[in-house]
């Protein structure tokens, strides 16, 4: 439970810092709204993937991490093909920020896996 709470707290902080850095490139109000939506969605996806890895335990961690990666890619594709259009978000800001959020949070996940081992 402690490691899950720590992972969630670090994830939110990392997405916040990354979103702040991305806001220097995506300056319009619509772009910044896309950053917020992408950050929120990335946090939900990552928390689900973190949970999957934590539930799998050490023995099946690599398989769970692989399934989490497939899950992230699927959500990214669905976000790009459907949600961006449905929410009327700027496509570039939404997809770049979502992909960056997923990437940096995957780095955090691998760090947390190594730390918990």
pLDDT in the model for residue 104: 93
* Secondary structure class of 33 (helix, strand, coil): helix
- Tokens representing 52 are 């999957």
pLDDT in the model for residue 23: 96
CA distance 96 to 16: 15
Q: What is the DSSP letter of 89?
A: -
Whole-model pTM: value is 0.89
Of residues 29 and 108, the one with the higher pLDDT is: 29
pLDDT in the model for residue 52: 79
Q: pLDDT tens, 5-56?
A: 888 899 999 999 999 999 999 999 999 999 999 999 999 999 888 887 777 7
* Secondary structure class of 59 (helix, strand, coil): coil
CA distance 35 to 54: 28
pLDDT in the model for residue 31: 96
pLDDT tier at 116, thresholds 50, 70, 90: low
């Amino acid at each position: 439970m402690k490691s899950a709470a720590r992972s969630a707290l670090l994830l939110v902080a990392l997405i916040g810092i990354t979103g702040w850095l991305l806001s220097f490139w995506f300056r319009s109000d619509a772009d910044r709204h896309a950053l917020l939506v992408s950050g929120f969605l990335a946090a939900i996806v990552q928390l689900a993937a973190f949970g999957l890895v934590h539930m799998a335990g050490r023995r099946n961690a690599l398989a769970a991490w692989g399934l989490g990666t497939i899950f992230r890619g699927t959500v990214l594709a669905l976000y790009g093909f459907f949600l961006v259009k449905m929410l009327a978000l700027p496509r570039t800001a939404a997809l770049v920020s979502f992909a960056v959020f997923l990437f940096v949070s995957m780095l955090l996940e691998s760090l947390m896996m190594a730390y918990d081992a």
